[in-house]
């Protein structure tokens, strides 16, 4: 099979699978690819926990590329996933060589690499307020803005009668989040 | 929708490059007319970054659960024999 034949439909199929039933699609990828990643990491100076950490990082990268429409597959998704994990593990080994006494969780490293200094700090501040939202609001916002589920699916999953109702609810939740953050920042400004 | 929500929608369309986003020139005019629009857009951008961090955190939690389900069970019989 040629690359051009494989790439677009395979990436689209993966995207659809992740959006339709995330748990099932991720479990399938996990079953296929994790044993290979564990064998590789454990054979190259890492522990089982290291293998799990880089594999989760690789899955996050794959998920974001797949649902964001930027994924180009030239091999199976599992092969691609193993490739990302191997690269991440090499990167981590180089980091450990440079800074042998500084333990940095792979999760933070991935975030640090992808967030600029200007946006990382406010993002972590906002995170606290996302955690404090009610469960329904939190689910709606994450489903739309991170997991990139279509509003039709969000409406059905949360019992909204229409896409329009789900859209209004999404903006109400976003407004609630913004107001919480704004109140907190205003209070901080007054305190100092 | 209430005007406040419509404003959030307007900003979102610009920030997320929605097909309904205003042409750059029109958006720039709005920024000139509305003195608070730039600050509101920046604040909203920070919300999206925060939601991305929160989404990643949730995805990692889901992955940990999948890992436990697939791999922890393999040694469950051993733990039953030698608890603790």
| A190 phi, psi to nearest 5 deg | -65, -40
| CA angle at A102 for the pair A98 and A105, rounded to the nearest 5° | 105
Over the stretch B16-52, which tens digit does the pLDDT of each residue have? 999 999 999 999 999 999 999 999 999 999 999 999 9
Residues A98 and A138 occupy one common structural domain: no
- Would you call B62 and A23 a contact, using CB atoms and an 8 Å cutoff? yes
Residues A108 and A42 occupy one common structural domain: yes
Closest CA to A182 of B47, B1, B55, B54: B47
Residues A37 and A82 occupy one common structural domain: yes
Closest CA to A53 of A34, A74, A66: A34
Note the ipTM here: 0.86
Residue B62's domain comprises: 3-81
Residues A25 and A94 occupy one common structural domain: yes
Residues A106 and A137 occupy one common structural domain: no
Model pLDDT, residue A3: 42
- Would you call A181 and B8 a contact, using CB atoms and an 8 Å cutoff? no
B50 has a chain A CB within 8 A of its CB: yes
Residues A26 and A108 occupy one common structural domain: yes
Looking at every residue in chain A, the average pLDDT score rounds to 86
Domain limit, last residue, from A81, A114, A147? A114
Contact A57, A65 (CB under 8 A): no
* Beta strands, E only, chain B: none
Residues A31 and A85 occupy one common structural domain: yes
**Can you tell me the mean pLDDT for A92-114?**
68
Residues A43 and A82 occupy one common structural domain: yes
Residues A78 and A94 occupy one common structural domain: yes
Domain limit, last residue, from A58, A80, A114? A114
Distance (Å, whole) CA A188 – CA A128: 15
**Residue A102 exposure: Cα atoms within 13 Å on the Cβ side:** 10
Nearest CB to A124: which of B43, B53, B69?
B53
The domain tally of chain A equals: 2
B66 has a chain A CB within 8 A of its CB: yes
Domain limit, last residue, from A72, A98, A114? A114
- Would you call A142 and B56 a contact, using CB atoms and an 8 Å cutoff? no
Model pLDDT, residue B26: 96
Over the stretch B55-77, which tens digit does the pLDDT of each residue have? 999 999 999 999 999 987 666 56
C-alpha of A63 from chain center: 6
Rg of chain A in Å (alpha carbons) = 20
Give the burial class of B37: count Cβ atoms within 10 A of its Cβ; 0-12 exposed, 13-18 middle, 19 or more buried: middle
Residues A89 and A121 occupy one common structural domain: no
- Tokens describing residue A44: 């190259």
Residue A171's domain comprises: 117-191
B29 has a chain A CB within 8 A of its CB: no
Q: Per this entry, what is the length of chain A?
A: 192
Residues A107 and A152 occupy one common structural domain: no
**Residues of A near B (CB-CB distance < 8 A)?**
22-23, 26-27, 30-31, 34, 52, 56, 59-60, 63, 107, 111, 115, 119-120, 122-127, 129-131, 138, 141-142, 145-147, 168, 171-172, 174-175, 177-178, 181-182
The domain tally of chain B equals: 1
Over the stretch A1-54, which tens digit does the pLDDT of each residue have? 444 444 578 899 999 999 999 999 999 999 999 999 999 999 999 999 999 999
Is pLDDT at B83 greater than 60 in this prediction?
A: no
Residues A28 and A83 occupy one common structural domain: yes
């Amino acid at each position: 099979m040629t690359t051009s034949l494989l790439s677009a439909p395979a990436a689209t199929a993966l995207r659809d699978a992740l959006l339709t039933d995330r748990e099932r699609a991720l479990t399938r990828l996990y079953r296929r690819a994790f044993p290979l990643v564990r064998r590789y990491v454990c054979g190259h100076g890492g522990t089982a926990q290291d293998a799990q950490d880089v594999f989760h990082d690789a899955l996050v990268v794959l998920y974001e590329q797949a649902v964001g429409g930027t994924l180009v597959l030239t091999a199976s998704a599992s092969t691609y996933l193993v490739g990302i994990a191997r690269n991440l593990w090499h990167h981590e080994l180089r980091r450990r060589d440079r800074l042998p006494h500084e333990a940095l969780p792979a999760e933070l490293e991935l975030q640090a690499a992808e967030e600029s200094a200007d946006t990382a700090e406010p993002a972590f501040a906002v995170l606290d307020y996302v955690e404090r939202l009610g469960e329904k609001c939190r689910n709606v916002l994450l489903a739309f803005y991170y997991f990139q589920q279509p509003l039709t699916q969000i409406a059905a999953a949360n019992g909204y009668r229409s896409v329009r109702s789900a859209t209004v609810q999404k903006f109400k939740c976003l407004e609630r989040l913004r107001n919480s953050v704004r109140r907190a920042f205003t209070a901080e400004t007054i305190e100092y | 929708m209430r005007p406040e929500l419509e404003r959030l929608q307007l900003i979102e369309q610009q920030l997320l490059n929605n097909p309904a986003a205003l042409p750059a020139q029109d958006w720039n005019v709005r920024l000139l007319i509305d003195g608070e629009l730039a600050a509101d857009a920046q604040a909203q951008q920070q919300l999206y970054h925060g939601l991305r961090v929160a989404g990643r955190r949730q995805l990692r939690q889901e992955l940990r659960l999948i890992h436990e389900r697939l791999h922890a069970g393999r040694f469950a019989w051993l733990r039953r024999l030698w608890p603790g």
